Amino acid sequence: MNGAGQGSTLLSFLPLVALFAIFYFLIIRPQQKQQQKHKDMVNALAKGDKIITNGGLYAEVVKVDDNFIKIKLNENNIVKLDKAFVSKKVDSVNETI
């Protein structure tokens, strides 16, 4: 009787384990890959790269430090930005303004 009770307990946890596996492969793993890709992109930034910040600002990288980068917004404004606020690196942007 002891063996049959353990089998039914194990079978009752099987749907929970399957649900966690589905959750992991559909949500957690892709998010981890995206975070790693963004981290690699931020670590690869160099002087002269064009970026877009999380606030939507288009800027050019002037200097890269450990946790911060200095960016040029226009000819007169250079600001310091935390690396975590870099949204993406762009190759070219049509500047029609």
pLDDT in tens, the chain (97 residues): 455 566 788 888 899 999 999 999 999 999 999 999 999 999 999 999 999 999 999 999 999 998 999 999 999 999 999 999 999 999 865 654 4
What local confidence, expressed as pLDDT, does residue 94 receive?
60
CATH class (in words) of the domain with range 46-97: mainly beta
Ordered by start, the domain boundaries in the chain are: 1-44, 46-97
User: Rounded to whole angstroms, what are the CA distances from 84 to 42, 48, 59, 70?
Assistant: 8, 18, 15, 13
Is this model's pTM higher than 0.85 or not? no
What local confidence, expressed as pLDDT, does residue 52 receive?
95
What local confidence, expressed as pLDDT, does residue 19 receive?
93
